C-alpha cells in the first residue's frame, strides 16, 4: 500500500473481500466472450497488479451489440412502453443499485483508485439518485403545439433518437455510466456502452442489475475494450444514431471526425478543462484555501472540472500561499480503502507518469514548487498533492490539462485582470468565484466563458443542474432535463386545417 506524505501513522482498516463476478461483454441480455476470444488486463492502481482479465471487444463485437440494440429499438417493447413504464423499471434498477452499494464501490476502487468511503456515501448513491431523476422524467417529455402563420396545425413530437453509443471515461466509472445511460433509457433509446479500458468492471455489474430490473434484452449492451478498436467502431458505426462521449479533448476530436466521416451521427462531447478558481480580497481565507484544495486534489485531480488554476487577489495572496502550504500537509495520500485517506492513486501508470512529467515541466518552466512534487510510496501510482506558485499564463502547466493533483497558484490585482486571465484558455468547462460582493459575483459569472460557474462553492453538481462545456471543453449537457434532448429528435407534424375558429 502507498505510504503517506506527511508522516502520520496510518490507522488499521479493513479491505473488504474482492469478488469480481462479471468480466465478459454484455450483448443482447447475455454475458459473452469476445468473438476473438481475446481478453485484456485490468489493473489495481494501488499496486499496479492485475485484478482481472476482461473480454476485449473489437469491431465484430460492436457490430453484434449494435445489431442487438437496433433490433431492440425497432422491435422490442422498450421504446413502445409508456414513459411511466420505463420509469418504473428504471426505479427498480435504482433500488437494485442501492442494494449492492458496497460491492460496486469496491470495483471502482480497485479499478480506478477511487476512495471507497466516498464511493459508498456519494458516488454510487448519487448514481441511483440520477437514475431516479430520469425515471421520473420519462413520462414528462413534451413537444409543443405551434403557432403557425397559415391555416395549418402543427406540433412537435420528441422521439427517441434510436441506437446510442456511449463512450465513457475512467475517472468516475459509475457516475459517468449513469450520466449517459439514464437519460438515454428514459428517452426510450437503446444503447451500446464502451467503458474506459482502465475501468470496465462496474459497468458490467450494472448490466447485470439492469437485466434483473427488467430492462429488456438488447436495450443496454456493454462492449469493453480499447478506444482505437472498440471505441472507434462505435464512433464510426453506420447504424448508431448518436454518440455521446466524455473524455479527453484529443479523443473527442477523433470521435467527432469519425462521426462526420461515417453517417453524420449526432455527437455530444464533454471534454477537458482547465478551470479557474478566482478568489477575491473579501473572501474568508481559510474557507478559500480549503475550497481551492478541494477543487484540485479531489479524486486525485482526475476530474474534468478540477479548479487547476487558482487566482488569488493580491490583498490576501501572501496569507493564502502560507495557508495553502500548511493545509496541503493535512491532505493524506494512501490506500483508497482507508477511510481516513483523502487521495488514492492515479488511475494507471500512464496517467501517473504524465502527472510527474508535468511537474518536471513546471519546474523547468521556472514555476516555484511550494509543496509536494514527488511520487509517494514504492508501489502503485501515488503522487503527492502539489502546488506551484509564480506561475505565468503562458506556461504549459497553466495551459494544458494535467489531470492530476497539481495546483497552479497565481496573483491578480483587478477584477478585469481576473476575468481576462480566467478566459485565457481554450477550455471552458467550469469556474469558481469566491466573494460575497453581489456585483462582483454577477459581473464575473456573466463574463467567464464556462458552462458552470460555482459561486462560493465548488463541485456543486446536482441532478437538476445542466452541466457541460463551452469552447473546447465540448458541447451538449449532462444532468438536468436538458440532457434528454441529446437522445431525442424533434419531428414537426403539420396538417392543413379548415374552418378553424381561431389561428
Binding residues vs other proteins (CB under 8 A): 83-84, 87, 91, 129, 132-133, 135-137, 139-140, 142, 153, 438-439, 442-443, 446-447, 463-464, 481, 495, 497-502
Q: How far is the CB of 308 from other proteins (least distance, A)?
A: 24
**Biggest alpha carbon–alpha carbon distance for the chain:** 84
458 alpha carbon, distance to own chain's centre = 15
Q: What nine digits make up the cell of 318?
A: 501572501
Q: How far is the CB of 24 from other proteins (least distance, A)?
A: 34
Q: What nine digits make up the cell of 222?
A: 456493454
Q: Looking at beta carbons only, is 18 or 453 nearer to other proteins? A: 453
Q: How far is the CB of 495 from other proteins (least distance, A)?
A: 6
- Cβ partners under 8 Å of residue 198, min gap 6: 42, 111, 112, 170, 347, 348
Q: How far is the CB of 465 from other proteins (least distance, A)?
A: 11
Q: Looking at beta carbons only, is 19 or 499 nearer to other proteins? A: 499
Report the C-alpha gap between 304 and 352 in whole angstroms.
16
Q: Looking at beta carbons only, is 48 or 154 nearer to other proteins? A: 154
Q: Looking at beta carbons only, is 48 or 125 nearer to other proteins? A: 125
Q: Looking at beta carbons only, is 110 or 418 nearer to other proteins? A: 418
Report the C-alpha gap between 119 and 104 in whole angstroms.
8
Report the C-alpha gap between 163 and 75 in whole angstroms.
12
Enumerate the active-site residues. Answer: 270
Q: How far is the CB of 323 from other proteins (least distance, A)?
A: 31
Alpha carbon distance, N-terminus to C-terminus of the chain: 73
Q: Looking at beta carbons only, is 39 or 129 nearer to other proteins? A: 129
Q: Rg for the chain (alpha carbons), in Å?
A: 24
Q: What does 233-291 look like in DSSP terms, one character per residue?
A: HHHT-TT--EEEEES-HHHHHHHHHHHHHTT--EEEEE-----EEEE-TTS-HHHHHHH
- Cβ partners under 8 Å of residue 268, min gap 6: 242, 243, 244, 245, 468, 474, 475, 476, 486
- Pairing state between β 368-371 and 309-313: unpaired
Amino acid at each position: 500500500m502507498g505510504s503517506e506524505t506527511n508522516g502520520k501513522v496510518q490507522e488499521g482498516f479493513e479491505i473488504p473481500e474482492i469478488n469480481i463476478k462479471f468480466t465478459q461483454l454484455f450483448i443482447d441480455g447475455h454475458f459473452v466472450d469476445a468473438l476473438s476470444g481475446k481478453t485484456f488486463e485490468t489493473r489495481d492502481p494501488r499496486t499496479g497488479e492485475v485484478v482481472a482479465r476482461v473480454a476485449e471487444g473489437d469491431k465484430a463485437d460492436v457490430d453484434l451489440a449494435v445489431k442487438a440494440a437496433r433490433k431492440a429499438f425497432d422491435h422490442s417493447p422498450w421504446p413502445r412502453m409508456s414513459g411511466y413504464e420505463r420509469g418504473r423499471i428504471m426505479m427498480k434498477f435504482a433500488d437494485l443499485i442501492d442494494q449492492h452499494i458496497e460491492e460496486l464501490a469496491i470495483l471502482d476502487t480497485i479499478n480506478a483508485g477511487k476512495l471507497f468511503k466516498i464511493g459508498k456515501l456519494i458516488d454510487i448513491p448519487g448514481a441511483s439518485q440520477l437514475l431516479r431523476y430520469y425515471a421520473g422524467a420519462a413520462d414528462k417529455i413534451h413537444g409543443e403545439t405551434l403557432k403557425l402563420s397559415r391555416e395549418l396545425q402543427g406540433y412537435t413530437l420528441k422521439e427517441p433518437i434510436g441506437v446510442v453509443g456511449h463512450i465513457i471515461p475512467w475517472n468516475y466509472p459509475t457516475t459517468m455510466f449513469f450520466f449517459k445511460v439514464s437519460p438515454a433509457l428514459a428517452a426510450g433509446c437503446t444503447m451500446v456502452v464502451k467503458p474506459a479500458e482502465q475501468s470496465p468492471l462496474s459497468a458490467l455489474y450494472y448490466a447485470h442489475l439492469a437485466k434483473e430490473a427488467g430492462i429488456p434484452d438488447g436495450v443496454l449492451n456493454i462492449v469493453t475494450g480499447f478506444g482505437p478498436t472498440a471505441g472507434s467502431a462505435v464512433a464510426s458505426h453506420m447504424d448508431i444514431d448518436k454518440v455521446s462521449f466524455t473524455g479527453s479533448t484529443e479523443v473527442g476530436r477523433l470521435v467527432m471526425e469519425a462521426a462526420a466521416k461515417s453517417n453524420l451521427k449526432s455527437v455530444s462531447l464533454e471534454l477537458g478543462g482547465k478551470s479557474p478558481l478566482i478568489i477575491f480580497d473579501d473572501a474568508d481565507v481559510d474557507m478559500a484555501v480549503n475550497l481551492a484544495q478541494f477543487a484540485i486534489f479531489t479524486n486525485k485531480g482526475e476530474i474534468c472540472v478540477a479548479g487547476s488554476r487558482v487566482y488569488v487577489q493580491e490583498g490576501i495572496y501572501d496569507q493564502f500561499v502560507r495557508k495553502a502550504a500548511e493545509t496541503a500537509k493535512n491532505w493524506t495520500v494512501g490506500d483508497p480503502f482507508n477511510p481516513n485517506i483523502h487521495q488514492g492513486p492515479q488511475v494507471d501508470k500512464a496517467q501517473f507518469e504524465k502527472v510527474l512529467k508535468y511537474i518536471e515541466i513546471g519546474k523547468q518552466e521556472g514555476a516555484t514548487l511550494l509543496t509536494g512534487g514527488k511520487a509517494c510510496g514504492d508501489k502503485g501510482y501515488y503522487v503527492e498533492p502539489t502546488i506551484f506558485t509564480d506561475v505565468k499564463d503562458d506556461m504549459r502547466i497553466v495551459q494544458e490539462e494535467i489531470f492530476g493533483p497539481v495546483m497552479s497558484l497565481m496573483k491578480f490585482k483587478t477584477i478585469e485582470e481576473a476575468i481576462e486571465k480566467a478566459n485565457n484558455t481554450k477550455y471552458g468547462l467550469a469556474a469558481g468565484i469566491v466573494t460575497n460582493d453581489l456585483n462582483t459575483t454577477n459581473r464575473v459569472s456573466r463574463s467567464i466563458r464556462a458552462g458552470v460557474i460555482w459561486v462560493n462553492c465548488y463541485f456543486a453538481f446536482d441532478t437538476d443542474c445542466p452541466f457541460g462545456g463551452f469552447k473546447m471543453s465540448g458541447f451538449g449537457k449532462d444532468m438536468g432535463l436538458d440532457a434528454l434532448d441529446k437522445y431525442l429528435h424533434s419531428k414537426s407534424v403539420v396538417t392543413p386545417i379548415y374552418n378553424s375558429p381561431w389561428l
